[in-house]
């Protein structure tokens, strides 16, 4: 053990030993009289030598500066288990924590063996892995903790005399690593399944969720965290899911995947699939929930795509038949769609001539025009006879195909679908491939389904083309009449006219022109690039233009190439017009205007278009007239015929709305009552005609000095009333705007002489003002207060403004004057 000490300790030990031995040896020599001079005491001299050696040790070898640290202090403060074993595997030394762990606190005698009862795994490892003691190994302890063990040899000059075993407790480290791995697995699962809603649930509450789940529930992520999971369940599924959750948390077996109904923040319920697995979150059991919104139908995408192709085909077939009057164009579209549906190289549609008992190719898919000659008749007849699709998977081996056909046409496989409807033979659809192709049951079934639709389309095209066209025209006219007559507003009526007219007659631009005297004025348009230049444009009914012909003849007029007939069509904004048609609007044998239809294509309008436009115009002319009469009648009902101002009834309607708004939003409101002073003298002196001129002029002067939001009305006789929204009065601390408005009106009336047929007439006015108070009085009270203030102004001498206040003197006779 001394040899293993550092060299400095070796020298210090030698000095101490030497210092102790010198006096001891000298004393022995003196005792046995072996000194040269027995009469001399040598011991004091020996202590001098000892003192010299100790002095040398102190100054030369730092005897007092460094002393060996006790082994126990170094070893026992270490938290690791440290065990020294010899070659036989017996414990020769160990630190305090190892003693506690092995239950050897009271064992003083060493060495002792490591027994299986103390630590089975340690005993096995020391016993069986003597050649691998220097390798790191993980051992579980009897108390369930994990230790990392590694041996360090304790060498001698020849061979190791034992091993120092160091056991480090890594239980917390392993747990942390396990948690980290679980966390990584959790986040990996979230990232890999981000298309679905994902959440971590613990104790019935959300701990984590992704943005997809936030979108589903229409709730921000931060508001979802910590919420009870059951609040997002539809009421009809609440009990079932809660019971499932309770059984799972109690350890019962539950299916990991099931369907339920969830509820978003807006109350929308939607079906969802829940896939639940158990995870560890922050060291505690939790549930990882994948939420799949079933309404998206992701799993059925391929099926829906196939269904969409079929539906698109059927829709386009129907659309082609309805919109196109040309059967050849319709069949070409059908051939394209059927070939596209089955991924065929060629698709042909042949029409059957019952009289000639032959079939002719009428349409082919784009870029694949083939003339099959008599062979198409043969194939069509066979398909009719067997009443089902004819399948030819290899034309070179089929007895139905002649050699000449095989050599001329590179078609190896064909599916011939008979086209029939209502027991009528209509033709066949030939679906062909240039390479051998085995037709599946789905392809044949789909071909039959489409063949039925094509046969029905052709049959309708044959038998109902004209009837269908007239039915569409009649229905469009009916719809137009319903839409147009459903409104009495002129602008809405014009909008419906132009919108519906485009459904029955194709045009690029159009205008609605109403007759005013001897001029036509454009009051509505469609399709012009600069509509502001069109609206309001007028045409003389006596000038050289096609409009005048329509008005004068009261008949439709068509220009097949307008610029050749009239130079005006070569100039903006009409320079885009080539084809033109004008149709009169006549009501009760009275022409009220016309419709003008424009086309960029010459020779665009046919007699059928003229017929349709005329029938349409007959309906809409009445609607236009009704709308115009309604607007005229409505205007008469709300205005004063003399002054053009609102009448008293309409003023009260407006005042009621403004009064309610002022109360609701706590906004200021004022009413002014105005009466012309001594107006009776004007009528008595100059007559009522001049009096009427004064009233009209006074109204115009007042309107010029009001805001657009202010309302002026004739209240009766020579009395006028004003409504001033958003106008502060006496209840405002800094301004009295309502009184200022009244004073401005009084001043302008007094300062301006009114020019009449009897000459200039000077007149004045008295005005009473009332402001809406914080007590929110009724409208009738507000008007009565203004009337009260007006009466006081009259009493005080006229030509003045008086604002109503609570201390305003009462009217002398106790009654408001009758106006």
pLDDT band for 460, please (50, 70, 90 cuts).
Answer: confident
Please write the tens of the pLDDT for every residue from 579-599: 999 999 998 888 999 999 999
Give the span between the Cα atoms of 498 and 253, in whole angstroms. 69
467 has a pLDDT exceeding 80: no
Q: How far apart are the two ends of the chain, measured CA to CA in Å?
A: 132
Q: What is the DSSP letter of 135?
A: S
Q: Among 273-277, 412-416, 529-533, 653-657, which stretch is predicted with the lowest mean pLDDT?
A: 529-533
Give the span between the Cα atoms of 739 and 728, in whole angstroms. 9
Q: 416 phi and psi, to 5 degrees?
A: -105, 115
CA neighbor of 169 nearest in space, from 102, 79, 76? 79
3-state secondary structure of 161: strand
Judge contact between 370 and 346, C-beta under 8 A. Answer: yes
3-state DSSP percent of the chain in helix, strand and coil, to 5: 45, 25, 30
Q: What's the whole-number average pLDDT of the chain?
A: 83
Q: Which residue has the higher pLDDT, 158 or 124?
A: 124
pLDDT band for 308, please (50, 70, 90 cuts).
Answer: confident
What is the pairing mode between strands 765-771 and 801-803?
parallel
Judge contact between 750 and 765, C-beta under 8 A. Answer: yes
Query: What is residue 578's predicted lDDT score, i.e. its pLDDT?
Result: 93
3-state secondary structure of 468: helix
Query: What is residue 645's predicted lDDT score, i.e. its pLDDT?
Result: 93
3-state secondary structure of 684: helix
Q: 3 phi and psi, to 5 degrees?
A: -65, -25
Residue 77: both structure tokens together: 């403060």
102 has a pLDDT exceeding 50: yes
What is the pairing mode between strands 160-169 and 146-155?
antiparallel
Q: Can the peptide bond before residue 111 be classed as cis, meaning omega within 30 degrees of 0? A: yes
How many CB atoms lie under 10 A from the CB of residue 106? 6
Highest mean pLDDT among 150-164, 354-368, 618-632, 667-681: 667-681
Give the span between the Cα atoms of 490 and 475, in whole angstroms. 23
Query: What is residue 814's predicted lDDT score, i.e. its pLDDT?
Result: 47
Query: What is residue 464's predicted lDDT score, i.e. its pLDDT?
Result: 62
Query: What is residue 365's predicted lDDT score, i.e. its pLDDT?
Result: 84
Query: What is residue 486's predicted lDDT score, i.e. its pLDDT?
Result: 66
Determine the average pLDDT of the residues in 672-681.
Answer: 95
Highest mean pLDDT among 173-187, 296-310, 480-494, 788-802: 788-802
Residue 529: both structure tokens together: 């690039």
Give the span between the Cα atoms of 164 and 83, in whole angstroms. 6
- Measured CA distances, 646 to 669, 694, 767 (Å): 19, 17, 19
Q: Among 191-195, 229-233, 253-257, which stretch is predicted with the lowest mean pLDDT?
A: 191-195
The answer for residues whose C-beta is within 8 angstroms of residue 354's C-beta and 6 or more apart is: 425
CATH superfamily of 486-626: GAF domain (3.30.450.40)
Q: Which residue has the higher pLDDT, 133 or 411?
A: 411
Q: Is 744 exposed, middle or buried (0-12, 13-18, 19+ CB in 10 A)?
A: middle
Q: Is 225 exposed, middle or buried (0-12, 13-18, 19+ CB in 10 A)?
A: middle
Q: Among 10-19, 67-76, 210-219, 605-614, which stretch is predicted with the lowest mean pLDDT?
A: 67-76
Q: Which residue has the higher pLDDT, 148 or 469?
A: 148
Residue 720: both structure tokens together: 């006028």
Determine the average pLDDT of the residues in 185-198.
Answer: 70
Centroid of chain to Cα 337: 34
CATH superfamily of 71-169: PAS domain (3.30.450.20)
Query: What is residue 818's predicted lDDT score, i.e. its pLDDT?
Result: 43
Please write the tens of the pLDDT for every residue from 352-390: 888 678 888 888 887 566 666 788 888 889 999 999 999
Please write the tens of the pLDDT for every residue from 392-416: 988 888 888 877 677 677 788 989 9
**Residue found by looking up tokens 């029939």 in the block:** 420
CA neighbor of 623 nearest in space, from 737, 763, 501? 501
Q: What is the DSSP letter of 727?
A: -
pTM: 0.39
700 has a pLDDT exceeding 80: yes
281-286 own/partner pairs: CB under 8 Å, 24+ apart: 281/182, 281/186, 281/200, 281/202, 281/207, 281/208, 282/179, 283/175, 283/179, 284/202, 285/202, 286/200, 286/201, 286/202, 286/207
Range 174-296 classified under CATH 3.30.450.20: yes
Determine the average pLDDT of the residues in 510-520.
Answer: 90
14 has a pLDDT exceeding 90: no
Query: What is residue 819's predicted lDDT score, i.e. its pLDDT?
Result: 42
Query: What is residue 694's predicted lDDT score, i.e. its pLDDT?
Result: 95
> Could you tell me which residues are beta bridge partners of residue 364?
348
Instruction: Transcribe 5-60 into DSSP letters.
Output: S-HHHHHHHHHHHHHHHHHHHHHHHHHTT-SS-TTS--HHHHHHHHHHHHHHHHHH
3-state secondary structure of 396: coil
280 has a pLDDT exceeding 60: yes
Element (H, E) at 292: strand 284-293
3-state secondary structure of 504: helix
Q: Do domains 302-463 and 486-626 have the same CATH topology?
A: yes
Give the span between the Cα atoms of 218 and 88, in whole angstroms. 72
Judge contact between 438 and 302, C-beta under 8 A. Answer: no
Using CA atoms of 39, 40, 41, 42 in order, give the dihedral in degrees to the nearest 10: -130
Judge contact between 292 and 272, C-beta under 8 A. Answer: yes
pLDDT band for 687, please (50, 70, 90 cuts).
Answer: very high
Range 639-803 classified under CATH 3.30.70.270: yes
What is the pairing mode between strands 346-353 and 284-293?
unpaired
Q: What is the DSSP letter of 228?
A: B
Radius of gyration in angstroms for the set of CA atoms belonging to the chain, rounded to a whole number: 55
Judge contact between 432 and 344, C-beta under 8 A. Answer: yes
pLDDT band for 816, please (50, 70, 90 cuts).
Answer: very low
Q: Which residue has the higher pLDDT, 459 or 232?
A: 232
What would the 3-class secondary structure string for 616-635 be?
A: HHHHHHHHHHHHHHHHHHHH
Q: Among 24-28, 240-244, 656-660, which stretch is predicted with the lowest mean pLDDT?
A: 24-28
For 283, how many CA atoms within 13 A lie in the half-sphere containing its CB? Answer: 5
Range 493-527 burial, b when 16+ CB lie within 10 A, else e? bbbbbbebbbbbbebbbbbbbbbeeeebbbbbbbb
Determine the average pLDDT of the residues in 558-574.
Answer: 89
Residue 176: both structure tokens together: 């942390």
Give the span between the Cα atoms of 607 and 626, in whole angstroms. 29
How many CB atoms lie under 10 A from the CB of residue 473? 18
Highest mean pLDDT among 37-51, 100-114, 224-238, 474-488: 224-238
Q: Which residue has the higher pLDDT, 49 or 84?
A: 84
Instruction: Transcribe 648-683 into DSSP letters.
Output: HHHHHHHHHHHHHHHHHHT--EEEEEEEETTHHHHH
Q: Which residue has the higher pLDDT, 2 or 693?
A: 693
CA neighbor of 164 nearest in space, from 148, 182, 149, 146? 149
Query: What is residue 342's predicted lDDT score, i.e. its pLDDT?
Result: 86
Judge contact between 220 and 307, C-beta under 8 A. Answer: no
Query: What is residue 6's predicted lDDT score, i.e. its pLDDT?
Result: 52
The domain ranges of the chain are: 2-60, 71-169, 174-296, 302-463, 486-626, 639-803
Report the CATH architecture of 302-463.
2-Layer Sandwich (3.30)
Q: Among 33-42, 139-148, 692-701, 799-808, which stretch is predicted with the lowest mean pLDDT?
A: 33-42
761 has a pLDDT exceeding 50: yes
Determine the average pLDDT of the residues in 591-618.
Answer: 88
| Strand blocks (E) in 667-731 | 669-676, 711-716, 719-725
């Amino acid at each position: 053990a001394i040899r293993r000490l550092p060299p400095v300790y070796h020298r210090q030990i030698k000095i101490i030993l030497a210092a102790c031995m010198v006096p001891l040896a000298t004393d022995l020599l003196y005792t046995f009289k072996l000194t040269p001079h027995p009469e001399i005491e040598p011991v004091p001299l020996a202590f001098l030598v000892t003192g010299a050696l100790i002095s040398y040790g102190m100054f030369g070898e730092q005897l007092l500066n460094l002393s060996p640290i006790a082994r126990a202090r170094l070893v026992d403060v270490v938290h690791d288990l440290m065990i020294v074993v010899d070659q036989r595997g017996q414990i020769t030394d160990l630190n305090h924590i190892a003693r506690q762990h092995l239950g050897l606190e009271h064992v003083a005698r060493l060495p002792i063996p490591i027994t299986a009862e103390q630590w089975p795994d340690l005993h096995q490892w020391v016993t069986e892995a003597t050649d691998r003691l220097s390798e790191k190994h993980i051992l579980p302890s009897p108390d369930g903790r994990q230790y990392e063990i590694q041996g360090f040899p304790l060498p001698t000059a020849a061979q190791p005399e034992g091993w120092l075993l160091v056991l480090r407790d890594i239980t917390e480290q392993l747990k942390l690593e396990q948690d980290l791995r679980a966390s990584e697995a959790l986040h990996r699962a979230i990232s890999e399944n981000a298309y679905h809603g994902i959440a971590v649930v613990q104790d019935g509450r959300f701990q984590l969720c992704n943005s997809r789940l936030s979108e589903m529930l229409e709730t921000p992520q931060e508001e979802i965290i910590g919420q009870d999971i059951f609040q997002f369940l539809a009421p009809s599924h609440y009990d079932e899911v809660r019971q499932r959750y309770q059984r799972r948390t109690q350890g019962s077996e539950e299916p990991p995947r099931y369907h339920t109904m969830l509820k978003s923040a807006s109350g929308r319920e939607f079906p969802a699939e829940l896939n639940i697995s158990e995870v560890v979150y922050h060291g505690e059991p939790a549930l990882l929930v994948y939420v799949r919104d079933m309404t998206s139908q992701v799993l059925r995408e391929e099926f829906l795509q196939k269904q969409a192709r079929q539906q698109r085909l059927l829709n386009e077939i129907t659309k082609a038949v309805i919109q196109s009057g040309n059967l050849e164009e319709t069949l070409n579209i059908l051939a394209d769609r059927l070939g596209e549906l089955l991924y065929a190289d060629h698709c042909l549609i042949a029409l059957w001539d019952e009289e000639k008992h032959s079939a002719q190719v009428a349409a082919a898919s784009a870029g694949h025009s083939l003339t099959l000659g008599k062979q198409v008749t043969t194939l069509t007849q066979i398909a009719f006879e067997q009443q089902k699709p004819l399948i030819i998977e290899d034309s070179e081996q089929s007895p139905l195909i002649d050699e000449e056909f095989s050599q001329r046409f590179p078609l190896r496989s064909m599916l011939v679908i008979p086209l029939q409807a209502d027991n009528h033979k209509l033709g066949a659809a030939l679906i062909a491939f240039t390479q051998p192709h085995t037709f599946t049951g789905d392809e044949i079934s789909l071909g039959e389904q489409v063949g039925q639709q094509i046969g029905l389309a052709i049959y309708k095209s044959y038998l109902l083309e004209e009837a269908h066209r007239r039915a569409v025209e009649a229905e469009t006219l009916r719809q137009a009449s319903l839409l147009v007559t459903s409104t009495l507003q002129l602008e809405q009526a014009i909008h419906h006219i132009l919108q519906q007219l485009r459904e029955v007659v194709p045009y690029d631009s159009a205008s609605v022109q109403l007759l005013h005297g001897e001029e036509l004025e454009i009051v509505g348009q469609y399709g012009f690039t600069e509509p502001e230049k069109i609206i309001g444009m007028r045409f003389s009914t006596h000038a050289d233009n096609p409009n005048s012909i329509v008005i004068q003849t009261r008949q439709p007029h068509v220009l097949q190439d307008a610029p050749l007939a009239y130079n005006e069509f070569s100039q903006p904004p009409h320079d885009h017009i080539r084809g033109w048609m004008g149709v009169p609007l006549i009501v009760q044998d009275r022409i009220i205007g016309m419709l003008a239809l424009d086309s960029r294509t010459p020779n665009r309008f046919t007699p059928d278009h003229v017929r349709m436009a005329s029938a349409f115009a007959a309906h809409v002319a009445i609607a236009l007239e009704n709308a115009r009469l309604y607007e005229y009648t409505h205007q008469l009902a709300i205005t004063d015929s003399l002054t053009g101002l609102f009448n008293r009834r309409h003023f009260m309607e407006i005042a009621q709305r403004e009064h309610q708004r002022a109360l609701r939003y706590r906004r200021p409101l004022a009413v002014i009552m105005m009466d012309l002073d001594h107006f009776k003298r004007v009528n008595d002196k100059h007559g009522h005609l001049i009096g009427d001129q004064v009233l009209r002029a006074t109204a115009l002067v007042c309107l010029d000095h009001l805001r657009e939001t202010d309302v002026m009305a004739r209240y009766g006789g020579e009395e006028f009333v004003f409504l001033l929204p958003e106008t502060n009065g006496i209840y405002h601390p800094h301004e009295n705007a309502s009184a200022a408005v009244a004073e401005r009106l009084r001043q302008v009336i007094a300062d301006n002489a009114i020019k009449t047929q009897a000459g200039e007439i000077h007149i004045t006015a008295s005005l009473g003002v009332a402001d809406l108070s914080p007590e929110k009085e009724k409208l009738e009270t507000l008007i009565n207060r203004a009337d009260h203030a007006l009466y006081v102004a009259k009493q005080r001498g006229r030509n003045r403004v008086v604002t109503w206040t609570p201390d305003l003197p009462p009217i002398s006779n106790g009654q408001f004057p009758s106006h």
